[in-house]
Amino acid sequence: MIQAIGLTSSTRKELPPAVDDVSFEAHAGRVTVLLGAPGAGKTTALGLMLELQRGRGITYFRGRPLHRIPHPAREVGVLLGAVPGHPARTVRGHLRMLCAAAGVPGRRADEVLEAVGLVSLRDERLGTLSRGMDRRLGLACALLPDPHTLVLDDPARGLSVRENRWLYGMLRAHADQGGTVLCTTADPKEAARVADRVVTLERGRLVADQEAADFSRTRLRPRVAVRSPHAARLAALLAQEARAAQRSVEVVREGGNRLCVYGSTCADVGETAFRNGIVVHQLAHEVADMGPGAGVTDRAADDEATPADSTGPGADESASSTTRPPSPPAGAPRHATADPQPAPATEPRRHPGVPAGGAGTPMSVPRDGKAQEDSAAEDARPAVGARSRRARGRADTGDGLPPLIAVRPAPRPLRPLRYEIRRATGVRTGFLIGAGVLLVSALTAVLLARVGHTPQPRLLAAWPRELPLPPAALGAGLLGALAFGDEFRHPALAADRGTVPRRLGLLTAKLLVASLTALVLAVLTVGCDAEVLYLVYGREVVEAPADWLPLSAGWLGLVTGCACAGVLAAGVFRSTTAGLAAVVAVPLVVVPLVRKATDGPSVRTPALVSARSRDGLPFRWPFGGEHHLDAVLRLVAQPVGGALALSLAALLCAYLLTNLRSRVR
C-alpha cells in the first residue's frame, strides 16, 4: 500500500504551495484515483511522493520510503507524461534497453509486449506511434520490472473510449492480482467509474477522501436530460404530477429547449410527454457533477446564504428529501449546499504520523486558496486540517513539521554495459556516422594522393595538414558525444527528472563502448583508405612504413582519446554539441597552450625521464617494459598527445566533481 503523509511542496516568493499538507492512503488490491481540476496539484503530489520534487512530507511504499528501496523500479512502476525515448528506436529495442537498466532478462520485453497488445508493432519506431499506442507502450515500460505499485499521471488523457476502457481494464487486473494502483484524472465521472477510492484535491488541499460509492452519491447526481420545443409546458406538467404524487422531483430549465429533471427517470418523463402530446427530441440519462465541495460544508456558500433562504417556501420541500439540494438558478452550474455527510460507520485504517480522521473523511473547501477557519464547522473538519494548522503554527520553531523531501538521484542501470550496447546499437545514427567517416576518409585520401606532398602516415589516415583532426577522430568524438548527448535529449533512464545518473558504472560502460567503437572505426578507416589507394594508384602508395608500430599506437590513441573526450565533455556539459566542441578545441586551443608551456631549455625530454626511471628502480622492467614506456612518453610528449591527455584529465575531474556535487544535494 501507499501511505502519503503531510505532502507539502516548496514555495517561492510568498506564493501559496501547489500542494499543502496532503495525506491519504492507497491500499493494495484497489484502484485509487487522485481527482482534481487542472492545476489542483495532482502532478505535484505525485512528484513529492516519488521524491522528484523538493518539499516536505514522506511517502511509504509497503512501509518503506522510496530512497530506502534498493531497486525502486522493481517496487514502483511510473508513467508521467509521454514515453521518453529516441524517436528512431523500435518499440522492442526500447523495452530491451530498459530491461538492461532494470536488471531483468531481455525476454521480459516480449512478455509485456504481448500483455499490452503491441506484438504486431514491436518493430515500429517510437516516433510513429499514435497516442493510444504510446499509452500502451508507457504502461509496458511501467510493468517491465513487474512492480507491486503503479503510479500513473492522467494515463487516459487523449485516448478514445475503447482505448480508455482497455487501459483501466489493465489497471483493474493489476489490482485484482494484489497490486496497488494510483492514478490521476480530472474527470469525476471517470473516477467514479474506475476507482475503488477517490481522493479529491482542490487548490493543492485535500477536499475529500471517499469510497467510490460515497463519492458517487455526494459528488455525482443522476438526472434526465430532455430537449423539446415545448420545454416550458413539459416542465410545468412534470412539476404538477410530482406534487400530486408527493414525489421529490426537481425540474431545472437550462436555457432554450433543454430541461434537466432530478429525481425522475426517462420512462416517467417520456410517459408524461406522450400522454400530453409533447414532442421530445432528446431523452437521456446523465450524471451531473456537483463540484469538489459536494456533500462538504462550504463556507463560501454559507456566507452567501441568508435566513430567508432557510425559511422560505421551498424549505419544507427541500427538507422532505435528504438527497435533494436546493434548486440553482436557470442556466447556472449546480453546487451542493447541504450539510456535510456523516462519517462512515467504520473508522478508516490509520498509519503512524496521521491523526484520526486523516483519511476517509471529507474536508471543507477553503475560499481564495487560504486557510479561513469557520468556528461553526470546526468540529466537522477532519484532523488533517488541524494538523496542518498546528504545523504552520510551529513553523517558526521547526517543531512538528513533516520531514524534508530531498530529490532522489536518478537510478543507474543495473547492467550498464548491456544497457549501453543496446542503446548504441538500437538506432542507426552510429552506423550512419561510421559509414560517412569511411566515405569521407576514402575520398580525402584519394585527393591527397593526387595532389602529392603528403606523408604516407597522413595519407593512410586521410589527415590533411589544413584540418585540426582527421575524419576518423572527429567521427569518434561525435559518437562519444552522442553517448551522453542522447541521454539528455531523450532521457529514457530518468525522463521524469530531466537528468541522467552520474554514476561511475554508467560512465565506465560508456567509455568502454566508445573506445571499442573508436578502435574499430580507426582500423576500418586505415584499411578502407589503403584498399582504395591500392585500387587507384597501385601497391607503392600503400607500403607499410618502417616505424609502423609506434605510428599505429599513436593513431589508435588519438582516435580513442577523441571518443573518450567526447563522452566526458557531453556528460559534463549535458550536450552533444558541447562534447564535439570540446574534441575540436583540443588541437585548436589546448595544443597551442601546451606548445607555449613546453617551449624553453628547462623542459625535460621523455628519453631522460624514462632513463631516470629505469636507473632508479632496483629491478629491470619485465618483457622489455622500458621500451614501451619510452613509446608512451614520446606519444604524450607530442603536442596533440599531451593536449589530449591534459584535456581528458581535466574532463574526468570535472565529471567526478559534478558527480559528488549531485550526491551532496
- For the beta carbon of residue 400, count every other beta carbon within 10 angstroms: 13
190 lies in some domain: no
Copy the grid coordinates of residue 68.
530506502
Name which of 61-75, 373-387, 435-449 the model is least confident about. 373-387
Cα distance between residue 109 and residue 50, in whole Å: 24
**Residue 295 included in any domain:** yes
Q: What is the largest CA-CA distance in the chain?
A: 119
The number of folded domains in the chain is 2
Residue 526: per-residue pLDDT: 92
Considering 319, 350, 380, which residue would you say is the last residue of a domain?
A: 319
pLDDT at 377 over 50: no
Q: Which of 300, 319, 338 is the last residue of a domain?
A: 319
User: Which of the pair, 492 or 261, is modelled with greater confidence?
Assistant: 261
Strand order in the sheet with 22-26: 22-26, 2-9, 55-61, 404-405
The most confident of 434-448, 496-510, 641-655, by mean pLDDT: 434-448
Distance CA 642, CA 627 (A): 19
Instruction: Flag whether 181 is in a domain.
Output: no
Task: Find the angle CA(89)-CA(91)-CA(92) to the nearest 5 degrees.
Answer: 105
> In the chain, what are the helix, strand and coil shares in percent, each to the nearest 5?
50, 15, 35
Identify whether residues 458 and 600 lie together within a single domain.
Answer: yes
CA dihedral 338, 339, 341, 345 (to 10 degrees): -150
Q: What is the C-alpha separation between 660 and 368, in angstroms, rounded?
A: 43
Lowest mean pLDDT among 117-126, 219-228, 340-349, 409-418: 340-349
Q: What is the pLDDT of residue 222?
A: 83
Same domain as 650, residue 506: yes
Left if phi > 0, otherwise alpha if psi is -120 to 50, otherwise beta: which for 205? beta
User: Angle of helix 471-489 relative to helix 548-573, nearest 10 degrees?
Assistant: 20
Q: Which of 72, 68, 127 is nearest to 101 (CA)?
A: 72
Which CA distances in Å does 214 have to 192, 294, 361, 611, 636?
Answer: 10, 11, 11, 88, 76
Do 287 and 426 lie in one domain? The reply is no
- Residue with the larger pLDDT of the pair 70 and 643: 70
pLDDT score recorded for residue 55 = 92
Q: Does residue 360 belong to any structural domain of this protein?
A: no
Q: What is the mean pLDDT of the chain?
A: 78
**CA–CA gap between residue 126 and residue 494 (Å, rounded):** 17
Whether 284 is in a domain gets the answer: yes
The answer to whether the beta carbons of residues 286 and 221 sit under 8 Å apart is: no
- The answer to the question of residue 366 being in a domain is no
Residue 63 lies in a domain: no
For residue 129, is pLDDT > 70? Answer: yes
Name residues whose C-beta falls within 8 Å of residue 657's C-beta, 6 or more positions apart in sequence: none
**549 pLDDT more than 90:** no
- Print the domain residue range for 306: 219-319
Contact present, 528 and 557 (Cβ < 8 Å): no
Confidence tier at 333 by pLDDT (50, 70, 90): very low
Angle at 375 between CA 373 and CA 379, to 5 degrees: 100
Percent of the chain with pLDDT over 70: 76
- The answer, yes or no, to whether residue 269 has pLDDT greater than 80, is yes
* pTM beyond 0.75, yes or no: no
CATH number for the domain harbouring residue 254: 3.30.70.980
Residue 31 resides in a domain: no
Residues 451 and 588 in one domain: yes
Query: What is the per-residue pLDDT for 337?
Result: 31
Closest CA to 518 of 484, 474, 485: 474
Please identify, among 290, 319, 348, the residue that sits at the C-terminal boundary of a domain: 319
Phi-psi region of 61 (alpha: psi -120 to 50; beta: other; left: phi over 0): beta
